[in-house]
């Protein structure tokens, strides 16, 4: 709260007793100044709002300017009562994952992510889908990790699962190449990425949000700190996980993975610009199942 300057008339004591009228006027003036000061101080204090502690014991002071930004978010990012879902983003991380990552929501980098997202009127996926990848299995049951870069930037496409699109949406080129590679070895594959997730496949984008029609626009927001934390957890706490790293960007994540403890599969990206130079024919899906079977885990029904 900023300090408020106010003036007080200082009168020499000898003059206070010149007559009763003068003394009375001085007392009235001092009382008026004190009342004005208290009124202004109370008004400024009311301009600071504190969000109540939530399930994560998160208490974050916000100003009216942030409340105004919440009101600018599109309706998809508000609940039925018109409240900002973004301010309660942690509630959309699976309860089975939250104990491992709740501290991240208190860190400075995450506060910056929230500030920047509040400046966006439209971004994808909608808030309730940002952590959708966590809703299918406990993180300790992870069997395969497939890393993407960031969500699709067009309306109705981003699902919260890397590379996945809703059933009624045409497959983007990279996803078509992924499906073609699967079907080279598994002719009857349904190629439903949600089905993969239900079997322990973590479909994780490095950056979890994107501005409408601006691919890569949130790559500097700090999401990679959070998603790297997830990868480090899987590397340290899980055993015999298959990591599929497609393209140079995903390939850099190999630095976070113990290749002696897990299987790391690398190739070119499935994008049409590079798929013919190493992704097509990589046999990653076959190799993944062979590794899982060898280590006593159930194979993935691709």
Q: Annotated catalytic sites, by residue?
A: 150
Say how far apart CA 227 and CA 99 lie, in whole Å.
16
Say how far apart CA 167 and CA 87 lie, in whole Å.
30
Burial class (CB in 10 A: 0-12, 13-18, 19+), 19: exposed
* DSSP 8-state assignment for residue 78: B
Beta-bridge partners for 178: none
Q: What sign results for the dihedral spanned by CA atoms 224, 57, 138, 260?
A: positive
Which of 136, 266, 264 is CA-nearest to residue 194? Answer: 136
In this structure, the strands spanning 210-211 and 123-124 are: antiparallel
Compute the 3-state secondary structure of the chain and give helix, strand, coil in percent, each to the nearest 5.
45, 10, 45
Say how far apart CA 94 and CA 99 lie, in whole Å.
9
Beta-bridge partners for 204: 147
Say how far apart CA 41 and CA 35 lie, in whole Å.
10
Residue pair 9/33 in contact (Cβ under 8 Å)? The answer is yes
């Amino acid at each position: 709260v900023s300090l408020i300057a106010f003036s007080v008339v200082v009168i020499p004591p000898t003059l206070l007793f010149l007559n009763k009228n003068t003394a009375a006027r001085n007392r009235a003036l001092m009382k008026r100044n004190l009342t004005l000061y208290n009124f202004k101080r109370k008004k400024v204090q009311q301009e600071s709002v504190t969000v109540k502690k939530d399930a994560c014991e998160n208490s974050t002071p916000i100003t009216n300017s942030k409340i105004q930004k919440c009101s600018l978010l599109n309706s998809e990012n508000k609940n039925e009562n018109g409240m900002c879902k973004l301010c309660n983003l942690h509630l959309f991380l699976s309860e089975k994952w939250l104990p491992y990552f709740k501290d991240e929501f208190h860190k400075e980098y995450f506060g910056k992510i929230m500030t920047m997202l509040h400046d966006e009127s439209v971004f994808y996926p909608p808030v309730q889908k940002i952590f959708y990848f966590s809703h299918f299995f406990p993180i300790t049951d992870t069997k395969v990790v497939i890393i993407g870069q960031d969500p699709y930037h067009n309306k109705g496409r981003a699902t919260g699962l890397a590379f996945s699109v809703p059933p009624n949406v045409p497959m983007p080129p990279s996803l078509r190449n992924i499906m073609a590679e699967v079907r080279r070895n598994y002719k009857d594959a349904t190629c439903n990425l949600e089905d993969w997730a239900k079997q322990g496949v973590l479909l994780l984008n490095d950056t979890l949000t994107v501005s409408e029609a601006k691919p890569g626009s949130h790559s500097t927001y700090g999401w990679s700190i959070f998603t790297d934390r997830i990868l480090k957890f899987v590397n340290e706490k899980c055993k015999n996980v298959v990591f599929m790293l497609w393209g140079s960007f995903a390939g850099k994540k190999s630095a976070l993975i113990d290749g002696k403890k897990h299987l790391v599969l690398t190739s070119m990206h499935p994008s049409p610009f590079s798929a013919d130079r190493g992704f097509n024919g990589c046999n990653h899906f076959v190799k993944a199942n062979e590794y899982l079977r060898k280590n006593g885990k159930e194979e993935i029904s691709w």
